[in-house]
Amino acid sequence: MFRTRRKLRKRELFIPSLIVLSLIRIEEVGTIQPVPGLSGRAYKDLGDVNLGVFFAITKYDPQHLCGDELRFPLLQQYIEAIVYAVDEINRSPALLPNITLGYAIVDDCVKESAAVAQALRFLPRRNCTTMEINDNADQYDVVGVIGPERSDNSLAVSLVLGPVKIPQISFLSSSDELSNKDLHSYFLRMIPPDRQQVDAILTFIQAQKWTYVSIIFSAGSYGESAYLRFKQRAEAFGICLAVHRKTTLVMTSEEYVEIIEELLQKSKARVVVAFIGGEEMVRLFQQAHVMNVSKQFIWIGSDGWSERLTILPIEYQPSVYGSFSFQVSAREHSRFNDYFDSLRPNCTKNPWFQEFWEWAFDCSFKRRTCDDSQRISQSSKFYRLGLISKAIDTVYVYGHAMHNLIADKCPQATGEEASECIKKTGLLDYLRNVSFEGSSGYIQFDDNYNLKGHYEVRQNLPGNPLNLKPVCRIDLDNGTSISVLSNYTWEYVSYLGWPNVPPESVCSPPCGVNEYKVPDLVKCCWDCRECRKNEIVFQNGSSCQVCPKFNWPDPLANFTRCSLIESTSLLYTKGVVIFEMAAIALGLVTTVFVLIAFIYYKEASIIKAASRELSFLQLIAIMLGFVTILLYVLPPTDQICSVAYCLFCFSLNLLHAPLLVKAIRIYRIFLAPSKCARGLRFISPFSQVVISCLIVLGQILGS
């Protein structure tokens, strides 16, 4: 994290240094010198008051400042949306009457250096007025700029134009760094910052019960600041990171293979969040398709590539089926759709429109294979971009702010006077305080000069072009709410191919009933162990605790609390009780019969030889044992339980004490010489009874 912050700080120091050197050069020569390799094409129609516009139109070229081919052809919709809004304002009698609004749209070539070079063309110059600038000029006199598209380029442009008090509004740059008003006090934007997008993505992941995810992020402000926010906020949502990797525009295929192989090593983390741009997205999914891991991951894309999926070659598009992408929610603008459909390559000043047409219809104007009578919506590659209304409202923000400023400060100003009035007064405060109902919704900036917004989650499904199906909407304005718009389909991301079975992305499944977690090194990973029979799961499943005496784990509470053991008694109608009562009765009757027989034949020699008195004690003990069993059948009370316990012990001792005394008596008699047997002491019946009673008494006192 500290390394990332140092890199961000280096960029903040590098760009101002470049600006200072550029300004010194401008002071020396009095004008801006052409930059070798910088795109000289511009889409312009200058007026009394002009806006500068940045778009990343051509592809990134590591060898040159600008590439030759269109980077994202459908971006022409945003370019034409700016032109459409300017034309609408110029036709409106209610907004900037008698003042013509103009524009100059330039290409920043996906590079900070190119963006800075283009921004220098918008710097105010000494001894230069609006009337001195013609359509062929290399420098443009502007009161504000729109863009750029990429956050890194917006940061660079803000550091160039902010010090000279030229406001900047972007409807696509979302980096949190741009919210730092100490550095970017003249920057405003029409969308929420990335911190809200990160929270929206985490909310969506949490709603699907995914707790173990990986993240890929692009080098630069957009990806790195989003990663830092994601890492800081993930724990609050109960989410752990498995893999985090950074991409760059100059990475090789082998490096993308390394990223995917690392993701495969953490196979339990099936969800992969991608905060990357369109170029990196293409390289990533191309390699995923080559490695045949399309169904292995659930990709969740940020707004950096959500609208750029069409630049992915059609043979690689199956690798994105089932993935999700986030986009700021905005209304559709039907009037602009009709306007864009009416455009033809031979009826526009747009220098990139012919290339766009050739891409859309796979034709060539040089070979005369293009039919310019077609409508662009007839192309199989075409689909409507989602932030058209945001682009139009960006122009209207400038229109309303300039209208209010002129009405306050110079109500009679027109033409050059209006431009000078705006520059003299400063447009920033009026931009901050703009409020109106726009095409995309109600427009009003917050304290950080951002607009609040909602996020639309789309699932990318097969189609020609891709079917970007809205599945839910996430609102973070007042708390957090998720509105489901359509059912998800899982057939493109599930191992088993079951469309209605949500896949899992967890390091360890939840422990079962009566199991506790044994933590691993990663917070979301653990092993499960079972508690003992007399223990409950304690401290949110992290340990076990023994239940108190006379308590037992409650299965109805999933063994998370102890419950008092309830006393129960046998019912007299049950078969077991009936059998026991019959056995008790039979035993008592038999014992009483034997006792009567002993009393009746008490003088018989065999009964005398069996120690008649001790046998009487044993018969009494057997009778008491049957009575004890009867007490255990009765409903339990403290008194019955006490009597049953004492009677059980007494009857058992009374049964075994005479038996012990008998054995000792016989042993002594057989051990003594026959002549001396009659002289043995304590072998009389009375002595034997006394000894037995003493043994029983000792047992009672000892217990």
What's the per-residue H, E or C state across 451-484?
CCCEEEEEEEECCCCCEEEEEEEEECCCCCEEEE
Residue 296 CB burial class (10 angstroms; 0-12, 13-18, ≥19): middle
Amino acid at 496: L
Main-chain dihedrals φ then ψ at residue 177, nearest 5 degrees: -60, -30
Coil/strand/helix, residue 247: strand
Q: pLDDT tens across 272-329, in order? A: 999 998 889 999 999 999 998 878 899 999 998 888 887 788 888 888 999 999 999 8
Residue 671 has a pLDDT of 78
Terminal-to-terminal C-alpha distance of the chain? 71
The architecture that CATH gives domain 194-321+452-484 is 3-Layer(aba) Sandwich (3.40)
* Helix (H) / strand (E) containing 327: strand 324-328
| Cβ within 8 Å of residue 652, ≥6 positions away | 621, 625
DSSP assignment of 658-680 equals HHHHHHHHHHHHHHS-GGGGGG-
Q: Using the structure block, give the residue that is written with the tokens 């209208």.
A: 403
Q: What is the mean pLDDT of each run of 10 residues along the chain (703 residues)?
A: 43 49 46 70 95 94 88 94 97 93 95 93 69 54 94 94 95 92 94 93 94 94 93 93 93 93 92 92 91 89 85 87 92 94 92 95 94 91 92 97 95 88 92 94 92 90 86 82 86 66 87 88 87 89 90 90 83 78 87 86 79 83 85 80 84 84 79 62 78 82 71
**Contact call for residues 343 and 482 (beta carbons, < 8 A):** no
Domain 42-125+137-189+333-437, what architecture? 3-Layer(aba) Sandwich (3.40)
Query: CA nearest 281: which of 306, 258, 250?
Result: 306
Helices (H), 61-164: 76-91, 112-119, 151-161
Tokens 């080098």 found at: 219
Q: CA–CA separation, 656 vs 667, rounded Å?
A: 17
Find the helix packing angle between 2-29 and 151-161, rounded to 10°: 40
Encode 605-655 in three state secondary structure. Answer: HHHHHCCHHHHHHHHHHHHHHHHHHHHHHCCCCHHHHHHHHHHHHHHHHHH
Domain positions in the chain: 42-125+137-189+333-437, 194-321+452-484, 515-564, 575-670+683-702
pLDDT given at position 118: 94
CB atoms near residue 521 (< 10 Å): 5
Angle at 28 between CA 24 and CA 34, to 5 degrees: 85
* Distance between CA atoms of residues 700 and 150, nearest Å: 93
In whole angstroms, what is the distance from residue 319 CA to residue 49 CA?
47
Contacts of residue 507, Cβ cutoff 8 Å, sequence gap at least 6: 211, 212, 240, 242, 268, 269, 520, 522, 524, 525
CA distance 392 to 222: 24
What is residue 4's predicted lDDT score, i.e. its pLDDT?
A: 45
Contact 187, 178 (CB under 8 A): yes
Give CA–CA dist 561/535, Å, rounded.
9
Q: CB 528: neighbour CB atoms within 10 A? A: 14
- The answer to whether 538 and 559 have CB atoms below 8 angstroms apart is no
Specify the pLDDT at position 477.
74
* DSSP class of 109: T
Residue 187, helix vs strand vs coil: strand
DSSP helix/strand/coil, 509: coil
d(CA 469, CA 578): 72
Tell me which residue has tokens 């940061």.
155
Closest to 427 (Cα-Cα) out of 643, 168, 247, 108: 168
- Mapped onto helix, strand or coil, the DSSP state of residue 298 is strand
Q: Are 95 and 109 in contact (CB under 8 A)?
A: no
Q: Which amino acid is at 669?
A: I
Closest CA to 513 of 529, 494, 497: 529
Torsion of CA 134, 153, 108, 418, to 10 degrees: -20
> Which two three-digit tokens encode residue 484?
């489901």
Residues 6 or more apart whose CB falls under 8 angstroms from that of 546 comprise 532, 534, 535
Query: Using CA atoms, how far apart are residues 34 and 55, in angstroms rounded to an integer?
Result: 19
| Per-residue tokens: 492 | 């493109």
How many residues appear in the chain? 703
pTM: 0.75
For tokens 């509004």, the residue is 169
CB 309 within 8 A of CB 320: yes
Task: Tell me how far CA of residue 560 lies from CA of 514, 534, 538, 555, in angstroms.
Answer: 8, 11, 6, 8
Residues 6+ positions from 573 with CB-CB distance below 8 Å: none
Task: Report the C-alpha gap between 169 and 172 in whole angstroms.
Answer: 9
pLDDT in tens, 368-382: 999 989 999 999 889
Q: What does 371-403 look like in DSSP terms, one character per residue?
A: -TTS-GGGSTT----TTHHHHHHHHHHHHHHHH
Q: What backbone phi and psi angles, to 5 degrees, belong to 202?
A: -65, -40
Query: Fold match between 42-125+137-189+333-437 and 194-321+452-484?
Result: yes
